[in-house]
Structure 1
Amino acid sequence: MIELSWPQVSARRLERQALAAPREGGTPADVVAAMCGAHAQVMSAAELSIALRLDGVTRADVRRALWEERSLVKTYGPRGTVHLLPARDLPSWVDALSRLPLGHHAFPDGVRMTAGQTAEVIEAIRVVLDGRELTIDELGDAVVGATGPWAGDLVMPAFQTMWPRWRQAMAAAAHHGALVFGPPRGRKVTYTSPPPAPAPPALSGSVLPMGGGGASGHADGTTPGGGGAVDGAVELLRRYLAGYGPATPEQFAQWIGAPRAWAEGLFEAAGPQPVSFQGGTAWVLPGDTAAPAQAPGGVRLLPYFDAYVVAGRPRELLYPGAARTRALAGGQAGNFPVLLVDGTVAGVWHQRRSGRRIHVTVEALRPLTRAQRGELDDQVARVGEILEGRPELTLGPVTVGPHA
């Protein structure tokens, strides 16, 4: 069995994530495809994640791709969290995410909806959003009108208020191709129908080509292994392994938000290649065992929930030493923006904007060489370019806590 070391894996991931060097001539959709989606709960962080990976791109270019060109789509992705995905890949994402088995019930009896109510709400969302862009209140009124008063019961605790019952189905509605985010209406978020599906609907640029499954949706959580019926899920696993392998079924299950048994069945269907990694067995795409000749290098400032750290495993190697306690929040990656040095987390950072001025504070957890300090200065300048402001760097403690 071929053995891969942690430095080799770090170098592979940096290169494939366009973090070893920014990609020249690519598009936001290209790098988001390689990232397996950009976490977008904090939109400024998503813009920075994407633009850092492209030469000369700014947040304005990312916004143009999302709201004008519509080459990116904002929707609910892995783990039910808000992501930016390539519009060209959305049908295969829907095909994959709609196959996820139902997880544990997040709400008690009297709050959660039945499977039948969930299906009714999803279909109502699909119908009322057809050709429209609605705010959350407008969407709620339309859904309750189409289903019944039960959908509007204020039973979901959320941010010191109560949300109506139907909102627990929003991520499921996105996973079944019923909604995506629409352009903002002033300060208000809107929702709309997904863009028309291109043909063929296979994830673009995959290492191994696959036939694409349609956006048919599978609320029953069908177990993988049925030939062409799992194309979307298998293709998503292959893209994940291309970007973040070697990986295990457990790691993939944690990333996508699915039971481990389901992920194990998907690995069997995909037929990846086992390799030896850190004293155990992990998997890569068949034949995909090469690593860059050079050691992992470079200094990067990654924002909240950057895909490199959220999907990167094992945590104890990605967050060595003091980084494990300083840059993780209860074991959760992404809650702190991180200083990345040679492929591993070596500090945290924070940026605060005041007009055109951007105050950047970097707390390094180990001494930086003169060359690394020079790279950090370059990286701060790049952050300022992306965010269209004038950056000022301070080296010292970051006093801001983790993002929820």
Structure 2
Amino acid sequence: MTRSTTGGLSLSWSQVTARRLVRQGLDIHSQSARPAEIVRALCGAHAQVASAAFWSIGLRGASLTSTEVKDALWTEHSLVKTFGPRGTVHLLATQDLPLWAGALLAIPPSHNGHSKEVRLTPEQTDEVIKAIAAALVDTELTIDELSDAVIAATGPWAGERVMPAFNDMWPRWRMALAQSGFRGALCFGPNQGTKVTYTSPRRFLPAFAPVEERSALVWLLKSYLSAYGPATPQHFAQWLNAPRSWARELFNALSDELEEVSVNGSLAWAVAGDTAFPSSSLQSVRLLPYFDAYIVGSQSRELLFPGQAAQRALTPSGQAGNYPVLLINGIVAGVWHQRRSGRWLDITVEPFDQLTATQRHELDGQVERMGAFLNAQPRLTLGPVIAGAHA
């Protein structure tokens, strides 16, 4: 680690990845970290695929089981399943929910291409969220039950099927679903069979209220830079699906609390005073699941997904997370897939290069760890992965 000609720190990519591995629990398996602590360090665990979210947490612990993660979510309520960054489903630390709400509500809204005639007005959004909060105050409802309650409380306009989604049309009120999560009116409850349910986070966080905007944004930016920094406003905007101009303004407004550094000659930012970096790369082999936070949040893509990795493990649009990846020393070095049959867990790993003896040994350990987490007997095969990307 050296000083650049401008006086800031000059860092190599290997130093940056080494710190990210440490900060996100991917260097060594923690012997004591609990699920909520792990999720806080990641700035949330993407939970579009529930089993993947659980493994994102479990692979960072030495002895955590899938049951312990489920208990943290549904019994202890130290985790909450709700809408997080990008309006996508995440597991968040319950104690941080007021901070998340304050920060996410401060991001300029995205209309996702919906025309003005289709979108909810601000007044309609408020009405829908009020109806959702009232319907879920002391119960759990499926999406159909919640839809009936919202339409009954607001009017037929809320039930007009105008929102394209998954080869179907959803009722208009569902445009406010993520905003309902941001405002604390809604979170996910345990499934009823195969059906998703929703409930109120105030059932286990009675004093919930969004934190004031500036304080919440300071917390979120510093948390992001701690886990994924150094980073640029563009990286932060992409992580949140927020306007780049808004992110630049935020970085500028908080410039006194940030510090410029150079990464491979490019300017980036870290939290002021938080500029300790390893002097060399770290050796580790990890099997990251769909949408693991390390892959989704880390930039730059061309360095994280070098060569064949970009072609094999990114979507054509450059989106990360749609493939489970083999991570070697913080860099994407392969893809993998799992299939469970009874007590057997068959894991196929496709490395992009020949594994060293040490890497193969660590991969074997990672496979055994996954088997223990899922209470299954794992079997490893090295070879082509034919499974496609997750939508």
Letter aligned with residue 24 of structure 2: Q
Indicate yes or no: 2:264 matched with 1:278. yes
Residue-pair matches, total = 380
How much does 1:197 deviate? 4.0
- Whether contact under 8 Å (2:111, 2:119) holds in the other structure is no
Indicate yes or no: 2:105 matched with 1:98. yes
1:75 aligned to which of 76, 82, 85: 82
How much does 1:264 deviate? 1.6
1:209-288 → structure 2 map (5 Å cutoff): 214-215=209-210, 229-270=213-254, 271-288=257-274
Structure 1 runs, 4 residues or longer, greater than 3 Å off: 195-199
Letter aligned with residue 38 of structure 2: V
Instruction: Name the residue aligned to 2:30.
Output: 23
Between 115-124 and 18-27, the greater mean CA deviation after superposition: 115-124
How much does 1:23 deviate? 1.5
2:300 aligned to which of 275, 293, 314: 314
Residue aligned with 2:201, SS: coil
Between 38-47 and 189-198, the greater mean CA deviation after superposition: 189-198
2: CA distance between counterparts of 1:299 and 1:229? Answer: 39
Instruction: Name the residue aligned to 1:211.
Output: none
Identity of aligned residues (%): 57
Between 103-112 and 244-253, the greater mean CA deviation after superposition: 103-112
2: CA distance between counterparts of 1:398 and 1:386? Answer: 22
How much does 1:160 deviate? 2.7
1:97-246 → structure 2 map (5 Å cutoff): 97-195=104-202, 196-197=204-205, 214-215=209-210, 229-246=213-230
Between 306-315 and 119-128, the greater mean CA deviation after superposition: 119-128
1:40 aligned to which of 40, 44, 47: 47
1:313-352 → structure 2 map (5 Å cutoff): 313-330=299-316, 331-352=318-339
1:9 aligned to which of 2, 12, 16: 16
Residue by residue, what CA displacement relative to the aligned partner does 1:365-386 show, whole Å, maximum 9, x if unpaired?
0111011111111111111111
Residue aligned with 2:282, SS: coil
Residue by residue, what CA displacement relative to the aligned partner does 1:309-331 show, whole Å, maximum 9, x if unpaired?
10010001100111011110120
How much does 1:278 deviate? 2.1
Instruction: Name the residue aligned to 1:359.
Output: 346
Letter aligned with residue 11 of structure 1: A
Q: Where in structure 2 are there 5+ consecutive unaligned residues? A: 1-7
User: Normalising to structure 1: TM-score of the pair?
Assistant: 0.91
Q: Where in structure 1 are there 5+ consecutive unaligned residues? A: 202-213, 217-227
Query: What RMSD in Å do the two structures reach over aligned CA positions?
Result: 1.5
Letter aligned with residue 73 of structure 1: V
Letter aligned with residue 125 of structure 1: I
Letter aligned with residue 263 of structure 1: A
Q: Structure 1 residues 91 and 125 mapped into 2: Cα distance closer, same or farther (>3 Å)?
A: same
1: CA distance between counterparts of 2:182 and 2:227? Answer: 22
Indicate yes or no: 2:375 matched with 1:397. no
2: CA distance between counterparts of 1:22 and 1:93? Answer: 27
Indicate yes or no: 2:58 matched with 1:61. no
Between 5-14 and 99-108, the greater mean CA deviation after superposition: 99-108
